[in-house]
Each structure stands twice: as structure tokens, then as C-alpha cells.
Structure 1
């Protein structure tokens, strides 16, 4: 057991990490406050980034506070009026850089954005790959359990095929999350 100065240092770091994660959760909650998921229940959107962060920590064993923070913030620039500069000011460069790697350029057509996710997956940082894996896992579970209103079976099937192509570029990042994704793909008749 650590004693004295080193134990106190660890406790201070843990407290600072907790405060940072809570600040990110609050920031994301404020930014996403009026948004809803596209499921029949119109679930509050904030459930998604919180769920992605939870998947990372609970199922992926990730304890890096910057990765957890990036998961909480991963859709703020893409889906709200948040800027990268704003994230950098509040949360620093490392978190902002991870979020940037997970952010689609909404000025591009949807098909092009989806193709870029496939192309760019393998070149992403380890931290961004973790967030992307957890994000896809959350979305695929939602697609199975609470699909977006109006999505046909064909559109859902196409999403699984596309997501699997993205995941291929993320392989070797986190065995636990990848196994869970493989189970989903296998259940849909897609071979890993």
C-alpha cells in the first residue's frame, strides 16, 4: 500500500480526473440538451455519449480519463454548435484531437462521410479507435433493440454491413469490444 506523499498524489490525480470527466459530461449534456435519438421513444441524445463512455470503461476496461472524456464529447462538434477551439479551450489538445478524429465533416454528402470512416479507420490513433469501437457497439445495439423510426429492414442491414467495414480498420484495438461486435455481426449473418 502506498503511503505518504505518493498516496496523496494518486488521490489528487484521481480527484482531478473525476472532475474532468464530470465537466465533460456536463458540457455534453448542455450541448445536446434539446436533441433526441431517432427511436420511437425519442430517448434524450445525451444517453448516447454517456453510453459510449460507459461501454469503454465497463466493457472495454478503459481507464484513461481523456478517452472517457472524448467519448462524452465525440458528437458535440458534429451535432451541435460546438467548435474544436471551444473544446481545446475547455478540455485541452489531447481530448480535442481524439474528438476531431471521431468527427465527420457534415459539409460532405452522407455517402462520402461513410466512405471516409471506412478509409480513415485504420489510420486513427489508438484512443480514437477505442471511441469509434464503443460508438459503433452502442449504435449497433440500438439498431437491434430500438431502431430509428422509419428505417427499413434494408437500411438497417446496410448499416450493419457498413459498420463491419469500419470495424475492420479498427481491429487489434480492444479484444473485449471487438468480440462483442463480432457476436453482433455473426447474429446478422455477417462473417468476421
Structure 2
């Protein structure tokens, strides 16, 4: 039996392939119904642009919505990608059994208690979402866009200071919507 040692690049591509498969039938809510996988890939790219080179953080960024939005289990992520990647994904995963307003409240409340790596993923997620608001989801009013910006600012408030480049990107994304 030959043991295969995967390179960091191969591990990152395996995470991208897994996420693409799990999100294959999902679309963003924009007018073009963009494939959902674009979002987790964008989150990882934002992290890379901010100087994050830890492959497990980038893998967790790509996988960050798999437990929350697909039938993927924590056990499955641990088995395929390791304990650390799964732990980071779980740190940024909302409990979909809770009402939406409670999930948002908990995101704001718990942001400052997350690990530095999870804070970076959360910041990149919010940056990606803010950038996507340049063309808001179908049916979103100006008030709803404004409410999301306020929510993102509150979450980011608990995550600032870990990565100055992400802090600047967040401010730029927010200001672009003003």
C-alpha cells in the first residue's frame, strides 16, 4: 500500500473540489444567480490578498459554508481535511436550527471570542458579502442593504485588529457602498 502525501496545493484544490461539489446546486441571490461556489472561493482569495498563507485557514475559508448550507457533517470534514480545518469551519458556522435574528445576534456577540484565524475568515466573508452588495440580491430594498451593512460592521467590530489588511479591505468595501 502506497501512502500519498498531499502537497498544500493539492489539499487546497481538494477543499475547493469538495466545496464545489457540495454547493453545486446552489446559487447566489443576485440578478445573475451566480454559482454559490464563487463566494467561498472569493473568501479564500480575499484572505490570500491580505497575506494569509496558512493552507488550513484557506481550506476552512473555502469550506466555511459547507456545514451550514449543505448536508456536510463535521465528522466528514474532520475525516477529509483534519481536525483544525473542521474546527475553524465550526467556529464560523451558524446554527441553522435557530431563528435568523438569533443567529445574527450570536454572530455579533461571539465575534470577539473567536480564534484569530476564525476572525480572519469571518472578516473575509463579510468583505465578500459587502462587495457583492454593489449589485444587491433580487428584491433587497435600500433599507435591507443598509441593515446588512450595519450588521456586518457589528460583526467586524469584534474581529478587527487581527489582520490590518483585512481591516482596510473591510473599510474600503463599506465605503464603496456609501
TM over 0.5: yes
TM-superposed deviation, 1:185: 3.1
21 and 187 in structure 1: CA distance in 2 versus 1, 3 angstrom threshold: closer
Within 5 Å, give how 1:21-100 maps onto structure 2: 21-58=12-49, 60-100=50-90
**1:18 equivalent in structure 2:** 9
1:183 Cα deviation (Å)? 2.7
- Rounded to whole Å, the distance in 2 between the matches of 1:142 and 1:87 is 27
Structure 2 residue ranges without an equivalent (≥5):
none
Question: With structure 1 as the length reference, what TM-score do the two structures score?
Answer: 0.88
- C-alpha displacement at 1:127, in angstroms? 0.8
Task: Work out which of the two has the higher radius of gyration on C-alpha atoms and give 1 or 2.
Answer: 1
- Uncovered stretches (5+) of structure 1, i.e. residues with no partner: 1-12
RMSD across aligned positions (CA): 1.3
Who is 2:161 aligned against?
A: 172
TM-score of the aligned structures, taking structure 2 as reference length: 0.94
Contact 2:19 2:66 in 1 (8 A): yes
Distance across 1 between alignment mates of 2:177 and 2:27? 27
> Structure 1 residue 187: deviation in Å?
4.8
Tell me which stretches of 4 or more aligned residues in structure 1 moved more than 2 Å.
183-189
Is the partner of 2:133 in helix, strand or coil? helix
Q: How many residues align?
A: 174
Shift of 1:177: 1.2
Distance 2:177 2:17 in 1: 36
CA-to-aligned-CA distance 1:131-188 (integer Å, 9 cap, x gap): 10110000000012x2100011100000001110000000111111111212333455
